[in-house]
Amino acid sequence: MRADPLIAVQCVVCGGYAFEVICPATDVLGHLEYLRGFHRRRLRPTPNGEAPRDALTDRADFTQDYATDIVACTDCGLVFRNPRPTTQDIDRAYMQDHYGASRLAALFDAQLELYRPKAHFLCRWLPRRQHVRIVEVGSFVGGFLAAGQEYGWDMLGVDPGVEVNSFCKNRGLPVCQGTLAELTLEERSVDCVAIWNTFDQLPNPEPTLAAACRLLRPGGLLVLRVPNGDCFRSAVAWMRKLPRPLAGWLRRTLAWNNLLAFPYLHGYSVRTLDTLLRHYGFARIGTQPDTLPRLSDAQTKSWAAQEERVLKGLCVLAARVAALRPTSSLRFAPWFDVCYRQSLQPAISHARHFRVSLTLPLLPAVA
């Protein structure tokens, strides 16, 4: 992504301007360089000895690939990139994302594998009737759309990406290009809005949350899947303290979960999501620790695929053990799913909650 200009931003949860740097831009540059070497060593080379074309996309080449500080709000703890590109530049970058046909097909297989259990996870809260309508924000390659159709749900995806929408349409999956706020559906006609891998990439969540409130039926569900800001913050601190061999394994674990270099705008926690969504009348009804969808595919060396399975399995095990403690925490889960029901009176109006500008004066680009 073009990283000029960069803008300083305030916290989208509490509106705070005070923050501490938890991973400086120089470290982010080092993490990006490490990731490229990490995945090149784990991919099967082409006949010319290079990594397969487009194989590093979403492994080491990300939309949020510019070097900037990763900070934490001192008031609420939200982890986020600061400074960052303008909202217009971010929207344009996601619209123009390119993966290639073979990479998209591999991503679909991995995401369908991921979202079948997610669909089962949702069944306990969805209404027990024949017609259930679900809208997915950031439908990407359509893994969840396909999983939901297997349950007989009326699925609709919305995504700004040109290439991924074309891929979904070619598979017969219902998608619209754009944002949730631009979707022309009747009010209170949707049972669930799912934002599995996109909420953390919204520069300002207010338009999407306001649209979800408008579209959801009374008691409707909002389900989110986000990278864990608390996990990233703890892991970065531990990498500085641990002996080199242990720090190396922790770095590999972050690499397989796309937390190294933090290629996201925001790293929410359950606490910060609860604070934000309370203002829109949502109450949390369920959480589930998780890891990144499988990155290994036919292009991955066998030993590397096994490494990914083991490290992600250890993450899930650590998260489940931590959940047994009286003061349970999702700190060991690189990702987590969380489900909310629209059942509370909004604490304050949307306009009042976002009464201050979300941007500050322009800053020079980071080299």
Q: What does the pLDDT read at residue 53?
A: 61
Length, in residues, of the chain: 367
What tokens appear for 245 in the block?
A: 């061999």
pTM for the model: 0.89
Provide the pLDDT for residue 71. Answer: 98
Question: Using CA atoms, how far apart are residues 267 and 78, in angstroms rounded to an integer?
Answer: 6
The rounded distance, in Å, linking the Cα atoms of 168 and 141 is: 6
| CATH number at 99-352 | 3.40.50.150
Boundaries of every domain in the chain: 99-352
- Tell me the average pLDDT of the chain: 89
Residue 59: per-residue pLDDT: 85
Q: What residues does 140 pair with on adjacent strands?
A: none
Burial class (CB in 10 A: 0-12, 13-18, 19+), 18: exposed
DSSP letter, residue 284: E
Convert the pLDDT of each residue in 227-286 to its tens digit: 999 999 999 999 999 999 999 999 999 999 999 999 999 999 999 999 999 999 999 999
Q: What is the residue-level pLDDT of the chain in tens, covering all 367 positions?
A: 656 689 999 999 999 999 999 999 999 999 999 999 999 999 998 777 666 667 787 788 887 888 899 999 999 999 999 999 998 888 888 877 788 888 899 889 989 999 999 999 899 999 888 899 999 999 999 999 999 999 999 999 999 999 999 999 999 999 999 999 999 999 999 999 999 989 999 999 999 999 999 999 999 999 999 999 999 999 999 999 999 999 999 999 999 999 999 999 999 999 999 999 999 999 999 999 999 988 998 889 999 999 999 999 999 888 888 877 755 568 889 999 999 999 766 555 444 444 333 444 444 444 3
Q: What pLDDT score does 22 carry?
A: 97
Cβ atoms of residues 224 and 338 within 8 Å: yes
pLDDT at 357: 39
